[in-house]
Amino acid sequence: AYSTKTHDLVVIGGGPAGYVAAIKAAQLGFDTACIEKRGKLGGTCLNVGCIPSKALLNNSLFYHQILTDSKNRGVDVDPKAVGLNFKNFMAAKEKVVNQLTGGVEMLFKKNKVTYYKGEGAFNSETEVMVKPVEGLKGTVEEEVMLKAKNILIATGSEVSPFPGITIDEERIVSSTGCLSLNEVPKRLAIIGGGIIGLEMGSVYNRLGSKVTVLEFQPKIGASMDDEVATTTQKLLKKQGINFKLQTKVMSATRNGDIVNIEMENAKTGEKESIEADVLLVAVGRRPYVQGLNAEKIGLEVDKKGRLVIDDKYSTKHPNIKVIGDVTFGPMLAHKAEEEGIAAVEIFKTGYGHVNYNNIPSVMYSHPEVAWAGKTEQELKADGIEYKVGKFPFIANSRAKTNQDTDGFVKILIDAKTERLLGAHIIGPNAGEMIAEAGLALEYGASAEDIARVCHAHPTLSEAFKEANMAAFDKPINF
Protein backbone atom coordinates (compact mmCIF):
# COMPACT_ATOMS: atom_id res chain seq x y z
CA ALA A 1 0.00 0.00 0.00
CA TYR A 2 1.31 3.42 -0.83
CA SER A 3 -0.04 6.94 -1.13
CA THR A 4 0.27 9.07 -4.25
CA LYS A 5 1.26 12.73 -4.56
CA THR A 6 1.58 14.90 -7.66
CA HIS A 7 4.15 17.69 -8.16
CA ASP A 8 5.31 19.76 -11.15
CA LEU A 9 8.93 18.80 -10.54
CA VAL A 10 10.56 16.07 -8.47
CA VAL A 11 14.27 16.39 -7.64
CA ILE A 12 16.10 13.22 -6.54
CA GLY A 13 19.02 14.13 -4.27
CA GLY A 14 19.43 17.12 -1.95
CA GLY A 15 23.10 18.01 -2.58
CA PRO A 16 24.36 21.28 -4.11
CA ALA A 17 22.89 20.26 -7.48
CA GLY A 18 19.51 19.12 -6.18
CA TYR A 19 18.81 21.59 -3.39
CA VAL A 20 19.73 24.63 -5.49
CA ALA A 21 17.59 23.34 -8.36
CA ALA A 22 14.66 22.71 -6.01
CA ILE A 23 14.78 26.22 -4.56
CA LYS A 24 15.18 27.85 -7.98
CA ALA A 25 12.28 25.79 -9.38
CA ALA A 26 10.02 26.82 -6.50
CA GLN A 27 11.01 30.44 -7.09
CA LEU A 28 10.04 30.03 -10.76
CA GLY A 29 6.60 28.82 -9.72
CA PHE A 30 6.94 25.02 -9.95
CA ASP A 31 5.29 22.92 -7.24
CA THR A 32 8.59 21.24 -6.31
CA ALA A 33 9.54 18.21 -4.22
CA CYS A 34 13.02 17.06 -3.26
CA ILE A 35 13.84 13.52 -2.13
CA GLU A 36 16.92 12.97 0.06
CA LYS A 37 17.86 9.74 1.79
CA ARG A 38 20.76 10.98 3.92
CA GLY A 39 18.54 12.53 6.59
CA LYS A 40 20.23 15.89 6.09
CA LEU A 41 20.24 18.21 3.10
CA GLY A 42 23.39 19.56 1.43
CA GLY A 43 24.71 16.27 0.04
CA THR A 44 28.36 15.31 0.04
CA CYS A 45 29.44 18.95 0.05
CA LEU A 46 27.81 20.08 3.30
CA ASN A 47 27.95 16.76 5.16
CA VAL A 48 31.21 15.04 4.25
CA GLY A 49 32.94 17.27 1.69
CA CYS A 50 33.63 20.94 1.09
CA ILE A 51 32.27 22.29 4.36
CA PRO A 52 33.70 19.94 7.04
CA SER A 53 37.07 19.87 5.24
CA LYS A 54 37.25 23.67 5.21
CA ALA A 55 36.37 23.84 8.90
CA LEU A 56 39.25 21.46 9.70
CA LEU A 57 41.59 23.34 7.35
CA ASN A 58 40.81 26.71 8.86
CA ASN A 59 41.07 25.61 12.49
CA SER A 60 44.20 23.52 11.97
CA LEU A 61 45.87 26.54 10.32
CA PHE A 62 44.87 28.71 13.27
CA TYR A 63 46.39 26.20 15.70
CA HIS A 64 49.54 25.77 13.63
CA GLN A 65 50.09 29.50 13.22
CA ILE A 66 49.71 30.13 16.95
CA LEU A 67 52.44 27.56 17.55
CA THR A 68 54.85 28.42 14.76
CA ASP A 69 54.20 31.98 13.67
CA SER A 70 53.30 34.03 16.75
CA LYS A 71 56.81 35.04 17.68
CA ASN A 72 57.52 36.58 14.24
CA ARG A 73 54.58 38.85 14.88
CA GLY A 74 55.62 40.00 18.32
CA VAL A 75 53.15 37.79 20.13
CA ASP A 76 54.76 35.67 22.82
CA VAL A 77 53.02 32.35 23.25
CA ASP A 78 54.21 29.62 25.57
CA PRO A 79 53.99 26.54 23.32
CA LYS A 80 53.41 24.40 26.42
CA ALA A 81 50.28 26.41 27.13
CA VAL A 82 48.87 25.76 23.64
CA GLY A 83 46.94 22.54 23.39
CA LEU A 84 44.84 20.88 20.77
CA ASN A 85 41.51 19.68 22.09
CA PHE A 86 40.79 17.25 19.28
CA LYS A 87 37.28 16.46 20.48
CA ASN A 88 36.32 20.13 20.45
CA PHE A 89 38.22 20.64 17.20
CA MET A 90 35.91 18.06 15.60
CA ALA A 91 32.88 19.46 17.42
CA ALA A 92 33.53 22.89 15.87
CA LYS A 93 33.32 21.24 12.45
CA GLU A 94 30.11 19.41 13.36
CA LYS A 95 28.56 22.65 14.51
CA VAL A 96 28.96 24.41 11.14
CA VAL A 97 27.81 21.32 9.27
CA ASN A 98 24.63 21.23 11.36
CA GLN A 99 24.04 24.96 11.01
CA LEU A 100 24.39 24.82 7.23
CA THR A 101 22.38 21.63 6.59
CA GLY A 102 19.66 22.98 8.91
CA GLY A 103 19.82 26.25 7.00
CA VAL A 104 19.00 24.48 3.73
CA GLU A 105 16.01 22.82 5.39
CA MET A 106 14.78 26.27 6.44
CA LEU A 107 15.26 27.54 2.90
CA PHE A 108 13.10 24.66 1.67
CA LYS A 109 10.34 25.74 4.07
CA LYS A 110 10.71 29.40 3.10
CA ASN A 111 10.45 28.57 -0.62
CA LYS A 112 7.74 25.92 -0.11
CA VAL A 113 9.75 22.99 -1.44
CA THR A 114 8.24 19.71 -0.22
CA TYR A 115 10.99 17.62 1.38
CA TYR A 116 10.68 13.83 1.40
CA LYS A 117 13.15 12.02 3.65
CA GLY A 118 13.56 8.71 1.88
CA GLU A 119 15.09 6.89 -1.06
CA GLY A 120 13.79 7.69 -4.54
CA ALA A 121 13.48 4.97 -7.19
CA PHE A 122 12.01 5.21 -10.67
CA ASN A 123 8.78 3.38 -11.32
CA SER A 124 8.18 4.91 -14.74
CA GLU A 125 9.23 7.96 -16.73
CA THR A 126 6.84 10.11 -14.72
CA GLU A 127 6.79 8.29 -11.37
CA VAL A 128 9.29 8.10 -8.54
CA MET A 129 8.62 5.95 -5.49
CA VAL A 130 9.89 7.33 -2.17
CA LYS A 131 10.79 4.49 0.19
CA PRO A 132 11.41 4.85 3.92
CA VAL A 133 15.04 4.49 4.99
CA GLU A 134 15.44 2.07 7.87
CA GLY A 135 16.55 3.72 11.09
CA LEU A 136 16.41 7.26 9.67
CA LYS A 137 14.70 9.78 11.93
CA GLY A 138 11.83 11.58 10.20
CA THR A 139 11.79 9.29 7.18
CA VAL A 140 8.50 8.88 5.29
CA GLU A 141 6.25 6.48 7.20
CA GLU A 142 5.14 4.53 4.17
CA GLU A 143 6.01 4.46 0.50
CA VAL A 144 4.85 7.51 -1.43
CA MET A 145 4.45 7.45 -5.19
CA LEU A 146 5.37 10.86 -6.61
CA LYS A 147 3.95 11.67 -10.01
CA ALA A 148 5.59 14.51 -11.93
CA LYS A 149 5.86 15.77 -15.47
CA ASN A 150 9.45 16.88 -14.81
CA ILE A 151 12.10 14.91 -12.95
CA LEU A 152 15.63 15.98 -12.09
CA ILE A 153 18.28 13.43 -11.09
CA ALA A 154 20.97 14.83 -8.75
CA THR A 155 22.16 11.71 -6.94
CA GLY A 156 25.81 12.77 -6.79
CA SER A 157 28.86 10.62 -6.28
CA GLU A 158 30.58 8.27 -3.86
CA VAL A 159 34.18 7.46 -2.97
CA SER A 160 35.95 5.37 -5.63
CA PRO A 161 37.31 2.20 -4.09
CA PHE A 162 40.95 1.16 -4.57
CA PRO A 163 41.02 -2.39 -5.97
CA GLY A 164 42.06 -4.83 -3.25
CA ILE A 165 41.99 -2.37 -0.36
CA THR A 166 39.15 -2.59 2.14
CA ILE A 167 38.06 0.68 3.65
CA ASP A 168 37.03 0.21 7.31
CA GLU A 169 36.72 3.98 8.02
CA GLU A 170 38.84 3.42 11.13
CA ARG A 171 42.43 2.75 10.07
CA ILE A 172 41.91 2.57 6.32
CA VAL A 173 39.67 5.51 5.62
CA SER A 174 38.03 7.43 2.80
CA SER A 175 37.74 11.22 3.00
CA THR A 176 34.56 10.64 5.04
CA GLY A 177 36.43 8.71 7.77
CA CYS A 178 39.37 11.11 7.62
CA LEU A 179 37.04 14.01 8.46
CA SER A 180 35.98 12.22 11.66
CA LEU A 181 39.04 10.49 13.13
CA ASN A 182 39.09 9.93 16.89
CA GLU A 183 42.67 11.05 17.33
CA VAL A 184 45.50 12.61 15.38
CA PRO A 185 47.40 9.72 13.77
CA LYS A 186 51.17 9.69 14.33
CA ARG A 187 51.66 8.61 10.73
CA LEU A 188 49.14 9.32 7.99
CA ALA A 189 49.68 7.83 4.53
CA ILE A 190 47.56 9.08 1.66
CA ILE A 191 46.98 7.36 -1.67
CA GLY A 192 46.39 10.14 -4.17
CA GLY A 193 47.98 13.58 -4.48
CA GLY A 194 44.82 15.29 -5.74
CA ILE A 195 42.99 18.12 -4.05
CA ILE A 196 41.17 16.03 -1.42
CA GLY A 197 44.33 14.11 -0.46
CA LEU A 198 46.42 17.26 -0.16
CA GLU A 199 43.78 19.14 1.84
CA MET A 200 43.45 16.31 4.35
CA GLY A 201 47.25 15.94 4.38
CA SER A 202 47.56 19.64 5.20
CA VAL A 203 45.12 19.34 8.11
CA TYR A 204 46.90 16.46 9.83
CA ASN A 205 50.39 17.71 9.01
CA ARG A 206 49.53 20.90 10.93
CA LEU A 207 48.21 18.85 13.83
CA GLY A 208 51.46 16.91 14.06
CA SER A 209 51.01 13.78 11.92
CA LYS A 210 53.90 12.58 9.78
CA VAL A 211 52.18 12.72 6.39
CA THR A 212 53.28 10.75 3.32
CA VAL A 213 51.52 11.22 -0.02
CA LEU A 214 51.72 8.33 -2.48
CA GLU A 215 50.97 9.38 -6.05
CA PHE A 216 51.12 7.30 -9.21
CA GLN A 217 51.60 10.28 -11.55
CA PRO A 218 54.90 12.20 -11.75
CA LYS A 219 53.07 15.32 -10.46
CA ILE A 220 50.58 16.24 -7.79
CA GLY A 221 47.44 18.37 -8.08
CA ALA A 222 45.73 16.57 -11.00
CA SER A 223 44.64 19.24 -13.49
CA MET A 224 46.73 22.09 -12.04
CA ASP A 225 49.06 24.09 -14.26
CA ASP A 226 52.40 22.19 -14.19
CA GLU A 227 54.44 25.12 -12.90
CA VAL A 228 51.94 25.79 -10.12
CA ALA A 229 51.86 22.09 -9.22
CA THR A 230 55.66 22.07 -8.84
CA THR A 231 55.58 25.13 -6.60
CA THR A 232 52.71 23.67 -4.57
CA GLN A 233 54.65 20.50 -3.97
CA LYS A 234 57.74 22.45 -2.94
CA LEU A 235 55.79 24.56 -0.45
CA LEU A 236 53.92 21.59 1.03
CA LYS A 237 57.21 19.74 1.33
CA LYS A 238 58.69 22.70 3.19
CA GLN A 239 55.76 22.39 5.58
CA GLY A 240 56.76 18.79 6.27
CA ILE A 241 54.62 16.70 3.92
CA ASN A 242 56.57 13.85 2.37
CA PHE A 243 55.88 12.94 -1.30
CA LYS A 244 56.45 9.70 -3.14
CA LEU A 245 55.59 10.30 -6.78
CA GLN A 246 55.43 7.71 -9.55
CA THR A 247 54.58 5.27 -6.85
CA LYS A 248 52.17 2.46 -7.45
CA VAL A 249 50.46 1.17 -4.35
CA MET A 250 50.08 -2.61 -4.64
CA SER A 251 48.25 -3.44 -1.43
CA ALA A 252 47.39 -2.23 2.04
CA THR A 253 46.44 -4.42 4.94
CA ARG A 254 45.49 -3.65 8.48
CA ASN A 255 47.33 -5.46 11.24
CA GLY A 256 45.76 -4.41 14.53
CA ASP A 257 46.33 -0.70 14.83
CA ILE A 258 48.86 -0.52 12.02
CA VAL A 259 48.40 -0.42 8.26
CA ASN A 260 51.07 -2.03 6.08
CA ILE A 261 51.34 -0.53 2.61
CA GLU A 262 53.20 -2.27 -0.20
CA MET A 263 54.22 -0.25 -3.20
CA GLU A 264 56.36 -0.23 -6.30
CA ASN A 265 58.24 2.51 -8.11
CA ALA A 266 56.28 2.94 -11.35
CA LYS A 267 59.48 3.55 -13.34
CA THR A 268 62.04 1.18 -11.85
CA GLY A 269 59.72 -1.48 -10.41
CA GLU A 270 61.62 -1.24 -7.12
CA LYS A 271 59.52 -2.47 -4.21
CA GLU A 272 59.04 -0.70 -0.91
CA SER A 273 56.76 -0.98 2.07
CA ILE A 274 55.78 1.52 4.74
CA GLU A 275 53.68 1.51 7.87
CA ALA A 276 51.04 4.02 8.83
CA ASP A 277 48.57 4.46 11.66
CA VAL A 278 45.93 5.66 9.24
CA LEU A 279 45.76 5.26 5.49
CA LEU A 280 43.56 7.64 3.51
CA VAL A 281 42.40 6.36 0.13
CA ALA A 282 41.77 9.47 -1.97
CA VAL A 283 41.83 8.30 -5.57
CA GLY A 284 38.68 10.06 -6.72
CA ARG A 285 34.93 9.73 -6.75
CA ARG A 286 32.46 7.94 -9.00
CA PRO A 287 28.87 8.66 -10.01
CA TYR A 288 26.22 7.25 -7.70
CA VAL A 289 23.05 5.65 -9.10
CA GLN A 290 22.53 2.76 -6.69
CA GLY A 291 18.88 2.12 -5.82
CA LEU A 292 17.66 4.66 -8.37
CA ASN A 293 16.24 2.02 -10.67
CA ALA A 294 17.51 4.01 -13.66
CA GLU A 295 17.69 0.85 -15.75
CA LYS A 296 13.95 0.34 -15.40
CA ILE A 297 13.32 3.38 -17.59
CA GLY A 298 16.29 2.65 -19.86
CA LEU A 299 18.62 5.48 -18.78
CA GLU A 300 22.03 5.19 -20.37
CA VAL A 301 25.26 5.05 -18.35
CA ASP A 302 28.74 5.55 -19.89
CA LYS A 303 31.94 3.60 -19.13
CA LYS A 304 32.69 5.78 -16.12
CA GLY A 305 29.21 5.19 -14.69
CA ARG A 306 27.94 8.68 -15.56
CA LEU A 307 24.32 9.15 -16.64
CA VAL A 308 24.36 10.21 -20.29
CA ILE A 309 22.69 13.51 -21.20
CA ASP A 310 22.52 15.96 -24.10
CA ASP A 311 23.39 19.69 -24.00
CA LYS A 312 20.06 20.44 -22.32
CA TYR A 313 20.81 17.99 -19.48
CA SER A 314 18.14 15.63 -20.89
CA THR A 315 18.28 11.86 -20.87
CA LYS A 316 16.53 9.97 -23.64
CA HIS A 317 13.36 11.09 -21.91
CA PRO A 318 13.27 14.88 -22.41
CA ASN A 319 11.34 15.37 -19.15
CA ILE A 320 14.11 13.68 -17.12
CA LYS A 321 17.26 15.74 -16.71
CA VAL A 322 20.53 15.01 -14.84
CA ILE A 323 22.91 17.44 -13.09
CA GLY A 324 25.92 17.46 -10.76
CA ASP A 325 28.49 14.78 -9.94
CA VAL A 326 26.36 11.94 -11.35
CA THR A 327 26.88 13.17 -14.91
CA PHE A 328 29.66 14.72 -17.06
CA GLY A 329 32.07 17.47 -16.03
CA PRO A 330 34.21 18.33 -13.03
CA MET A 331 32.95 17.00 -9.70
CA LEU A 332 32.64 20.35 -7.97
CA ALA A 333 29.89 21.85 -5.86
CA HIS A 334 29.74 25.17 -7.72
CA LYS A 335 29.50 23.37 -11.07
CA ALA A 336 26.63 21.29 -9.65
CA GLU A 337 24.86 24.43 -8.41
CA GLU A 338 25.17 26.21 -11.76
CA GLU A 339 23.67 23.19 -13.47
CA GLY A 340 20.85 23.17 -10.95
CA ILE A 341 19.85 26.69 -12.01
CA ALA A 342 20.38 26.07 -15.74
CA ALA A 343 18.40 22.81 -15.85
CA VAL A 344 15.43 24.34 -14.06
CA GLU A 345 15.49 27.38 -16.35
CA ILE A 346 15.45 25.01 -19.32
CA PHE A 347 12.41 23.24 -17.82
CA LYS A 348 10.72 26.62 -17.50
CA THR A 349 11.76 28.46 -20.67
CA GLY A 350 13.74 26.08 -22.89
CA TYR A 351 16.92 28.09 -22.25
CA GLY A 352 19.66 27.85 -19.64
CA HIS A 353 23.42 28.10 -19.70
CA VAL A 354 26.65 27.10 -17.94
CA ASN A 355 30.05 28.17 -19.30
CA TYR A 356 32.15 25.02 -18.91
CA ASN A 357 35.28 26.91 -20.00
CA ASN A 358 35.04 29.00 -16.89
CA ILE A 359 34.65 26.74 -13.85
CA PRO A 360 37.19 27.68 -11.17
CA SER A 361 39.12 25.11 -9.12
CA VAL A 362 40.45 25.79 -5.65
CA MET A 363 42.66 23.85 -3.28
CA TYR A 364 42.33 25.21 0.25
CA SER A 365 45.86 24.41 1.39
CA HIS A 366 48.09 27.16 2.73
CA PRO A 367 48.87 28.95 0.58
CA GLU A 368 45.72 28.33 -1.43
CA VAL A 369 45.89 27.31 -5.07
CA ALA A 370 43.22 28.48 -7.51
CA TRP A 371 42.83 28.47 -11.24
CA ALA A 372 40.37 29.14 -14.03
CA GLY A 373 40.55 28.85 -17.81
CA LYS A 374 43.40 27.13 -19.64
CA THR A 375 46.66 25.85 -18.17
CA GLU A 376 49.96 26.43 -19.97
CA GLN A 377 50.19 22.75 -20.92
CA GLU A 378 46.68 22.88 -22.42
CA LEU A 379 47.51 25.94 -24.53
CA LYS A 380 50.66 24.22 -25.79
CA ALA A 381 48.73 21.07 -26.66
CA ASP A 382 46.09 23.14 -28.49
CA GLY A 383 48.79 25.04 -30.41
CA ILE A 384 47.54 28.41 -29.17
CA GLU A 385 50.11 31.21 -29.05
CA TYR A 386 50.12 32.90 -25.69
CA LYS A 387 52.02 35.28 -23.45
CA VAL A 388 52.67 34.85 -19.73
CA GLY A 389 52.54 37.48 -16.99
CA LYS A 390 53.70 36.66 -13.49
CA PHE A 391 53.79 38.56 -10.25
CA PRO A 392 55.15 37.13 -6.97
CA PHE A 393 53.44 37.83 -3.65
CA ILE A 394 56.83 38.71 -2.15
CA ALA A 395 56.51 41.98 -4.13
CA ASN A 396 52.94 42.65 -2.93
CA SER A 397 52.71 45.07 -0.01
CA ARG A 398 49.72 43.45 1.68
CA ALA A 399 51.31 40.00 1.53
CA LYS A 400 54.36 41.60 3.15
CA THR A 401 52.37 43.19 5.97
CA ASN A 402 50.64 39.85 6.50
CA GLN A 403 54.00 38.03 6.50
CA ASP A 404 52.43 35.64 4.04
CA THR A 405 54.42 35.99 0.83
CA ASP A 406 54.72 32.49 -0.69
CA GLY A 407 53.41 32.08 -4.22
CA PHE A 408 52.57 34.08 -7.32
CA VAL A 409 49.87 35.03 -9.80
CA LYS A 410 50.35 33.70 -13.32
CA ILE A 411 48.27 35.09 -16.17
CA LEU A 412 48.02 33.52 -19.62
CA ILE A 413 46.81 35.72 -22.49
CA ASP A 414 46.33 35.26 -26.21
CA ALA A 415 49.54 36.42 -27.95
CA LYS A 416 47.69 38.55 -30.50
CA THR A 417 44.45 39.76 -28.91
CA GLU A 418 45.87 39.77 -25.35
CA ARG A 419 42.56 38.35 -24.14
CA LEU A 420 42.73 36.47 -20.82
CA LEU A 421 42.89 32.70 -21.41
CA GLY A 422 43.80 31.40 -17.98
CA ALA A 423 44.68 32.53 -14.46
CA HIS A 424 46.69 30.45 -12.00
CA ILE A 425 47.23 31.65 -8.47
CA ILE A 426 49.18 30.10 -5.67
CA GLY A 427 49.14 32.36 -2.67
CA PRO A 428 47.18 33.75 0.25
CA ASN A 429 43.45 34.00 -0.50
CA ALA A 430 43.85 32.64 -4.03
CA GLY A 431 40.39 31.07 -3.74
CA GLU A 432 38.75 34.48 -3.33
CA MET A 433 40.94 36.19 -5.91
CA ILE A 434 40.05 33.69 -8.65
CA ALA A 435 36.56 35.24 -8.83
CA GLU A 436 38.14 38.25 -10.54
CA ALA A 437 39.59 35.97 -13.21
CA GLY A 438 36.17 34.37 -13.61
CA LEU A 439 34.53 37.70 -14.29
CA ALA A 440 37.27 38.68 -16.73
CA LEU A 441 37.09 35.37 -18.61
CA GLU A 442 33.29 35.56 -18.81
CA TYR A 443 33.33 39.03 -20.35
CA GLY A 444 36.34 38.41 -22.60
CA ALA A 445 38.55 40.97 -20.89
CA SER A 446 42.10 41.59 -22.09
CA ALA A 447 45.04 41.86 -19.70
CA GLU A 448 45.00 45.63 -20.24
CA ASP A 449 41.27 45.83 -19.40
CA ILE A 450 42.05 44.19 -16.05
CA ALA A 451 45.19 46.24 -15.44
CA ARG A 452 43.29 49.49 -15.99
CA VAL A 453 40.75 48.68 -13.28
CA CYS A 454 41.61 50.55 -10.07
CA HIS A 455 42.38 47.95 -7.35
CA ALA A 456 42.39 49.00 -3.70
CA HIS A 457 45.73 49.41 -1.97
CA PRO A 458 47.12 47.60 -0.10
CA THR A 459 45.37 44.40 -1.14
CA LEU A 460 46.49 41.01 -2.35
CA SER A 461 44.42 41.54 -5.49
CA GLU A 462 46.94 44.14 -6.64
CA ALA A 463 49.13 41.12 -7.43
CA PHE A 464 46.43 40.01 -9.87
CA LYS A 465 46.42 43.43 -11.52
CA GLU A 466 50.23 43.52 -11.74
CA ALA A 467 50.44 40.01 -13.23
CA ASN A 468 48.12 41.30 -15.97
CA MET A 469 50.37 44.32 -16.45
CA ALA A 470 53.31 41.93 -16.74
CA ALA A 471 51.46 39.90 -19.37
CA PHE A 472 51.03 42.70 -21.92
CA ASP A 473 53.61 45.25 -20.72
CA LYS A 474 55.58 45.63 -17.49
CA PRO A 475 54.58 45.54 -13.83
CA ILE A 476 55.41 48.51 -11.60
CA ASN A 477 56.44 46.84 -8.34
CA PHE A 478 58.60 43.99 -9.56
Q: Which residues are catalytic?
A: 457
Q: Which is nearer to ligand FAD, 203 or 409 (CB)?
A: 203
Q: Which is nearer to ligand FAD, 152 or 413 (CB)?
A: 152
Q: How far apart are CA 29 and CA 9, in angstroms?
A: 10
Half-sphere exposure of 245 (CA within 13 A, CB side): 12
Q: Which is nearer to ligand FAD, 196 or 451 (CB)?
A: 196
Instruction: Bin 418: left if φ > 0, else alpha if -120 < ψ < 50, else beta.
Output: left
Q: How far is the CB of 18 from ligand FAD (least distance, A)?
A: 5
Residue 215 near residue 236 (C-beta atoms within 8 A): no
Q: How far is the CB of 194 from ligand FAD (least distance, A)?
A: 10
Half-sphere exposure of 209 (CA within 13 A, CB side): 26
Q: How far is the CB of 130 from ligand FAD (least distance, A)?
A: 8
Q: How far apart are CA 372 and CA 356, in angstroms?
A: 10
Q: How far is the CB of 2 from ligand FAD (least distance, A)?
A: 16
Q: Which is nearer to ligand FAD, 187 or 334 (CB)?
A: 334
Q: Which is nearer to ligand FAD, 14 or 392 (CB)?
A: 14
Site residues, ligand FAD (CB under 6 A) = 12-18, 35-38, 43-45, 49-50, 53, 119-120, 154-157, 175, 196, 288, 291-292, 324-325, 331-334, 336
Tallying the residues shown for the chain, one arrives at 478
Q: Which of 386, 456, 376, 364 is nearest to 424 (CA)?
A: 376
Q: How far apart are CA 82 and CA 214, in angstroms?
A: 32
Q: Which is nearer to ligand FAD, 331 or 388 (CB)?
A: 331
Q: How far is the CB of 344 from ligand FAD (least distance, A)?
A: 14
Q: Which of 452, 472, 455 is nearest to 412 (CA)?
A: 472
Sheet order of strands, 420-427 included: 361-363, 368-373, 420-427, 408-414, 386-392
Q: Quote the crossing angle between the two packed helices 195-206 and 226-238, to the nearest 10°.
A: 20
Q: Which is nearer to ligand FAD, 38 or 465 (CB)?
A: 38
Instruction: Bin 151: left if φ > 0, else alpha if -120 < ψ < 50, else beta.
Output: beta
Q: How far is the CB of 269 from ligand FAD (least distance, A)?
A: 32
Q: How far is the CB of 374 from ligand FAD (least distance, A)?
A: 20
Q: Which is nearer to ligand FAD, 159 or 451 (CB)?
A: 159
Q: How far is the CB of 87 from ligand FAD (least distance, A)?
A: 21
Q: Which is nearer to ligand FAD, 56 or 184 (CB)?
A: 56
Q: How far apart are CA 49 and CA 432, in angstroms?
A: 19
Q: Which residues pair with 250 in a beta bridge?
A: none
Q: How far apart are CA 150 and CA 143, in angstroms?
A: 20
Q: How far is the CB of 47 from ligand FAD (least distance, A)?
A: 7
